Amino acid sequence: MTETFPQLNAFCRSRGTYFRAIHLQEHAHDIQSTVSQQTANFSQQKNFSSQRLKISLDYINNCSPFFICVLGSQYGDFCTDFPEPLETSTSNEEVLPLVKRNLYMAAATGYPWVLSEKNRNCSLTELEIIQAAFINNSHSSFFYFKDYCHSEDVTEAIYDSKHTTLKQFTHLTESEQLKVRELKCKIINKGLPVRFYKSLKHLGELVFEDWKGIVEKLHSENLLYTSPSYEDSLIQVLSKAFTKRCSKSFVSSPESQLVFEKLDAFVLSSSEACDTEENSLQPQMKSAQKSILLLYGAKGCGKSSLLANWLEMFTQNHQEMLVLSHYVGTSSPASDIQLFLRYCTRKLRCKHFGIEEADALYSENQLDLWTFPQVVQAFVSAAGLRPCLLVLDGINELGATFGLSEKQVKEFQWMPVLPPNCKCVLSTTFSDLSYKSIIHRQDVQVLHCTCPSDTVRGRILQKHQALPEKEIPSTLLWNIMHKKLSKLPAVLAVLGRELRTCGVFSDEEVCMEEYLEVHSLHELWGLVLKRWVQDYSWTAEKKRSKKKRESSSHSEGKQQPQNEFSGMKGWVPDVLCLIRLSHGGLSEDELLSLLRILGYSGPLEVPNLAWASFRCSVWEWIQEQPDGMINFNHLSISQAVDHFILNLIPLVACNLLDPDAIFANNEMSLEDIEIYGFDYDYTLAFYSKDLHTLIFNIARDILVGEHRYPEGLRAYDYIPDFVIRGLHYDVQKALLMKIDAFHYIQLGTVYRGLHPVSDKEVVAMYEGSHVPLEQMSDFYGKSSHGHTMKQFMDIFSLPEMTLLSCVNDYFMRHNIDYEPVHLYKDVKESIGDVHVKGILYRSVEADIEKYVCYGEQTQAVLRKLADHGKKMFLITNSPFDFVNRGMNYIVGKDWRDLFDVVIVQADKPDFFNDRRKPFRKVNNKGVLLWDRIHELEKGQIYKQGNLYEFLRLTGWRGSKVLYFGDHIYSDLADLTLKHGWRTGAIIPELRSEIKIMNTKEFVDTMTWLQGLTGLLERMQVYRDAESQMVLREWIKEREGMRSKTKNIFNPQFGSLFRTYHNPTYFSRRLSRFADIYMASLSCLLNYDLHHTFFPRRNPLQHEAPVWTDQICAGTLKNPFQAKMDNIG
């Protein structure tokens, strides 16, 4: 077979796949020969030899339905002394023969049938055949029997004395010979394909012809290595293989069927048939046909599996439509969007014009014809040739392409509107830039990939465990299903696979207990990687020089920071690193060869069975691709290897700021904090944007139904990311705007309705851009001149601002006279009704998974504080039933045990100022008790009250208390000014803004902007005409760059924290009333509770020794340094 298998592999490679024969039996006794080795891995190797049968059966399952069996006269190893029923309790006793240990191991790890009465005396070879041909699907199994009557050493003349001749070649007993004959008869009687070979050469010919036919049947398209389109075609082969694997692991559910229906409706009809969210700044687009559907969800929520399964069914049911799909994460080249566009162009043209050979469509000089703008133009033209469906899965993994950065690619501004007969389905995560960018397109509909139900999650777990003979203990199943993290199918997949494999070397119960303690998929992968290393790996210690030993000994004397992942060393981590650092994976031969180079040779060499055991354990996550390369098949494991094994610092940490950091306005030590207080909304609980849509829709309908506003307002939908927090609204002029810390309007951010107001008009209305102090509202929206400027400070105000803009837009579009002050009051009252009348609370409680986001690790923060003996309290304006339902979902039903005091419907900010309202206790049935409150008891629920009474009853005063909230005024201002508590602001927008600030585009733009400002400073002293002309050009360029930096954050209003070079009014209040601020409470997990936060000393203008442009030029690689140096 040394010639046949390479020939088959070469043939397979030409068809976009590979062929590799896995033959473990020839190495079955290799490990036993290592008894004399003085290595630490000897006991492991003995266990590997006991796993031979288990590994073979695993490989047979993984390779099913493909199976080759060459059966001669040998029956194989078997036991004859098993007349009594077997017990698995002796499976680890070394006194047992190797065959028995193999049987026990296989039975204990998912194959108990091997110990049944009819199978226990079978040879290991026959058990493998039973698994492949009699239990599994056998339609691609081939058997090859030796034809002894035509043996090269036995002539036709002695055919009748075959029995005598066979004894010359074998030492089989009569019983073994009988078993071989019975096994062959059983195979033939089942009707399985059997070939008789005369010689090894004949055997090779038979095997080649049989498997060539299988390959031609499954892979009919021929890929030519010399073809210009080969790379594109190979990427599509990898993509199709990935989607096939995803489809295989898919578990159908009512939720998935609903998504399928919406996908079908989108592709087959206009957008009105799809009951999905639509995003547009113009309500008229609601009735226009959409050409792009964006499927989004959290990482690991099953988007790829869902799309793969839908695509398979859709293709079968609609064969007349050309369907082109691509998964971005299959390989490094696949992340280049240009390759997918070229592939689509080629396929569409070939289909339309009936061209078989597409190479004529390619230029010999690719750079001449296939620059990116031409690729896009050719793609759009080809997309209009015929009806087609394009599916691009995983756009969050797109990278840079020729001429565009990764950020520019993900913004999708390069993609024009598609032709009407072309439909495009994209998928991404809601935390990625691609989601934020693409939802603003007017031709896009979005569809949320929701978490599966409990029943479906159980089926997902069982499917990935995939051992019908091995049931998951009911207690363990209950624990898994009641973990919030198990709502992600990817987590269930990891746990299911670990249930199948972790019990071989490790204690399954202990492993699962550790796994269920984690709070993220990333942490889970860390523990799984650790288990792989402990179970399968050993190190290759190399001899070191005396100098290096002394140096090592000296360094060991120093205290080094350690964590539970520090000891990940050995051949397993080396293999994972090699795969991760490769361009597109490595073949098995390459990996084993590299291990030998790294020192795993001689007695430390990785035996065949050890390698096979490891491969079986990681089969679902580290797979061989159609090109024969072994690679990771999920982004989450790649990221885990980067973090836990390669110790790579995330890219964002190498830039300017960490989005998960805590930032200090005032010096504060957590060691001084004894009591932690929390608001609920957007502090402990975070909400999806679906909640904003809900608030907008309900308030809009109240306006129409109860305030008699025009029915045409119902055409307006909520516009995500149209507004930002901290904006001011001029009630009398109906203008929404951003104001800086010095009370100046940021020109270019003033909107009337949905349209910007020109700078000239703004200056005319306000006689400049300054807003006098007396027109600004105080903390609570009041001013000495009545309602003049209202500032919107909390996240719940985003729907209110959007509704104000939409109503103003409607009246202006239809030329309707209206009084802006009355309009403002009506909208404010409608928004208030959504909260006050309980409509919002009931809606959230009815579908909590849709509206409440899980994943901010609130539970981990609270338990960390509790474990360190910190006292905690909750003060919220929300009602108890609403809070209780949310906290049950986020933290668990024991959430009240974590808090020493819980106060609901507190009516902040009056709670902090009004001494009159007493506390009332609420019983478990929600009934208000009227007894006087003498103490605030743990486990009880209290309503209303006031802070002064709270301080009297608890004694929690001064700087030992740290209170967190999201509303700078209602939650934090009074506590800072009047009571001396330390305060922490939760600013969810902070994370996304920092990520933008860390991009190369932003850094380069700001570096040049600062440099250009310095040039203007120096250049203005020259008054000659030429210098003044240059100055005017630079001023114009500076204004353009300032607008560009604003638009990076939000096209309408820019950054929450900056108005060009000045802080915003919001930022000024944040720095005044919050000691620290962060994106979410989960940031606390990055610090120990003795950490001191120090505010950075930013130089005042007179303290800066040189202009920023002179500093940035050297530190940030200013690309325009040469231009700046030439300025005199």
Catalytic positions, written as ranges: 679, 681
Neighbours of 667 (CB within 10 A): 11
Show the tokens assigned to 234. 């190979």
- The full DSSP string for 206-237 is HHHHHHHHHHHHH--PPPPTTSTTHHHHHHHH
What's the gap between Cα 197 and its chain centre? Answer: 52
Handedness of CA 720, 724, 725, 729 (dihedral sign): negative
Distance CA 1006, CA 997 (A): 9
The residues, any chain, with a CB within 8 Å of residue 788's CB and separated by 6 or more, are 730, 731, 732, 775, 776, 777
The string of DSSP letters for 782-830 reads --TTSSSEEE--STTHHHHHHHHHHHHHHHHHTT----HHHHHHHHHHH
Calpha distance 423→274 (Å, rounded): 13
User: How many CB atoms sit inside 10 A of residue 244's CB?
Assistant: 12
How is residue 723 annotated by DSSP? S
Strand ranges in 864-1021 using DSSP code E only, listed in sequence order: 871-875, 901-904, 919-922, 928-929, 941-944, 961-965, 982-986
Distance between CA atoms of 13 and 1, rounded to whole angstroms?
A: 18
Residue 187 CB neighbours (<10 A): 21
**Angle of helix 689-705 versus helix 797-813 axis, rounded to 10:** 50
Q: How far apart are CA 753 and CA 747, in angstroms?
A: 16
The residue among 936, 865, 924, 931 whose CA lies nearest residue 893 is 924
**Residue 260: alpha-carbon gap to chain centroid:** 22
Angle at 966 between CA 845 and CA 718, to 5 degrees: 60
Provide the residue type at 1054 as one letter.
Answer: G
How many Å apart are CA 881 and CA 905, to the nearest integer? 11
Query: Which letter, b or e, does each residue of 120-158 get, where b requires 16 or more Cβ atoms within 10 Å of its Cβ?
Result: bebbbbbbbbbbbbeebebebbbbbbbebeebeebeeee
Between CA 131 and CA 504 the distance in angstroms is 20
Contact (CB, 8 A) for 887 and 899: no
The pairing of beta strand 789-791 with beta strand 728-730: antiparallel
Count Cβ neighbours within 10 Å for each residue of 893-922 and write b for 16 or more, e otherwise: eebbebbbbbbbbbebbbbbeeeeeebbbb
Q: What is the DSSP string of 142-154?
A: EEEEE-GGG-TTS
